[in-house]
Amino acid sequence: MTSFFVLAFLLMAFSCHGSLACPEICKCSPGGSEVVCSEVPLATFPSDDLPNSTTILTIQLTNITSITEEHLKVTPLLQELHLYGNQLQSLSPHLLRGLPHLLNLDLTENKLRHLPANVFSHAALRGLVLKNNLIEEARGDWLPENSSLTWLDLSGNLLTRIPTALLQMLPNLENLDLSNNHLEEIPVHSLDGLAKLERLNLQDNKLHSLDASSFQSMHSLTVLFLARNKLSHLPGNLFHGLSRITHLSLYGNQLSRIPVGLFDPLTSLEERSLDLTGNPLVCEGKTEYLCRWYEKNKRVFLSDTMSTCRCPV
């Protein structure tokens, strides 16, 4: 509560006495609290004319290739920084040192490949989006230990391994998106420590198998996407302890059979929330587990999920 009043006081002070300039090719709200520079001929960060009262800054679809700590010092009250669709190739170490109030940082659709140590330290980030870049390795020294981050999006990169060292720094993480990478496996214990995780997206990777313990520490998990991988079989106790899951997608894998008991722990599935479409399912014999489970839980299956599976009448 104290920090809120401090920020409010600083906003008033900057509004009254700070610079209310606005970069000529950008748009600024009255008072300069929000600035948008979109699809404009910018090759360098427009720090000279930014209002120091800015709390939300959007710079997107420009030719800017790098951003440094010095560029951002002119907006010390910044809470949200959106840098979508630029040409960013590098970020300076300690990039956020002058932004103690920054909560959300979006770096979607740039050309970032390697990031320096401590690049995201110094700010109490809640959300970090690095979607659609060229990142091959997500390192543990990007963020401080016990980071306050609750949302991390690394989708659409070139990751070949689960970024375990980084995830160990994120005990408060609630939403993790690793979709559309090149992950082939989830090593044992690589996702441990994510006790607060509620949403996990692993779709559009190359996962060919899962260990029974892959998700065992995620007792808060409600949404799990495993679509469009190369899974041909699943351990029967894969979802043990995951009774809070409301949505599960296994669409577009290579599953032919469902092991006995696999779905039994999933007592919270909502209507049409289980997707098994796009798998070569084989359902035969009067005791086939999937058929029996389907008869008792038809409402949770997505339409046409069982269209290729002939269950005995």
- Domain of 256, CATH number, reads 3.80.10.10
- Asked whether residue 195 falls in the same domain as residue 227, the answer is yes
Rg over CA atoms, the chain: 23
Mean pLDDT score, 230-245: 97
Task: Return the biggest CA–CA distance within the chain.
Answer: 79
140 assigned to some structural domain: yes
- Asked whether residue 149 falls in the same domain as residue 199, the answer is no
> How high is the pLDDT of residue 65?
96
Joined tokens for residue 198: 């509620």
The confidence band for 288, taking pLDDT boundaries of 50, 70 and 90, is confident
178 assigned to some structural domain: no
- Asked whether residue 111 falls in the same domain as residue 187, the answer is no
Lowest-confidence pick of 17-26, 113-122, 150-159: 17-26
> How high is the pLDDT of residue 5?
41
Determine contact, residues 119/128, Cβ cutoff 8 Å: no
- Asked whether residue 231 falls in the same domain as residue 303, the answer is yes
Residues 47, 50, 53: CA angle, nearest 5 degrees: 130
Total domains, the chain: 2
272 assigned to some structural domain: yes
- Asked whether residue 244 falls in the same domain as residue 149, the answer is no
**In the predicted model, is pLDDT for residue 3 greater than 90?**
no
298 assigned to some structural domain: yes
- Asked whether residue 145 falls in the same domain as residue 239, the answer is no
Neighbours of 158 (CB within 10 A): 12
171 assigned to some structural domain: no
Reduce the secondary structure of the chain to three states and give it as a string: CHHHHHHHHHHHHHHHHCCCCCCCCCEECHHHCEEEEECCCCCCCCHHHCCCCCCEEEEECCCCCEECHHHHCCCCCCCEEECCCCCCCEECCCCCCCCCCCCEEECCCCCCCCCCCCCCCCCCCCEEECCCCCCCCCCHHHCCCCCCCCEEECCCCCCCCCCHHHHCCCCCCCEEECCCCCCCCCCCCCCCCCCCCCEEECCCCCCCCCCCCCCCCCCCCCEEECCCCCCCCCCCCCCCCCCCCCEEECCCCCCCCCCCCCCCCCCCCCCCCEECCCCCCCCCCCCCHHHHHHHHCHHHECCCCCCCCCCCC
- Asked whether residue 154 falls in the same domain as residue 21, the answer is yes
> Model confidence over 253-274: pLDDT tens digits?
999 999 999 999 999 999 999 9
Final residue of a domain: which of 126, 159, 192?
159
> Model confidence over 33-92: pLDDT tens digits?
999 999 888 999 998 889 999 999 999 999 999 999 999 999 999 999 999 999 999 999
Kindly report the backbone phi and psi dihedral angles of residue 84, in degrees, each rounded to the nearest multiple of 5, phi listed first. -70, 135
- Asked whether residue 196 falls in the same domain as residue 118, the answer is no
84 assigned to some structural domain: yes
**C-alpha distances in Å from residue 203, one per residue of 156, 177, 237, 238:** 11, 9, 20, 17
- Asked whether residue 124 falls in the same domain as residue 10, the answer is yes
- Asked whether residue 286 falls in the same domain as residue 235, the answer is yes
**In the predicted model, is pLDDT for residue 313 greater than 70?**
no
- Asked whether residue 2 falls in the same domain as residue 146, the answer is yes
> How high is the pLDDT of residue 21?
80
> How high is the pLDDT of residue 312?
67
- Domain hosting 103: range is 1-159
- Asked whether residue 126 falls in the same domain as residue 187, the answer is no
122 assigned to some structural domain: yes
One-letter amino acid for residue 204 of the chain: D
The pTM score is 0.91
168 assigned to some structural domain: no
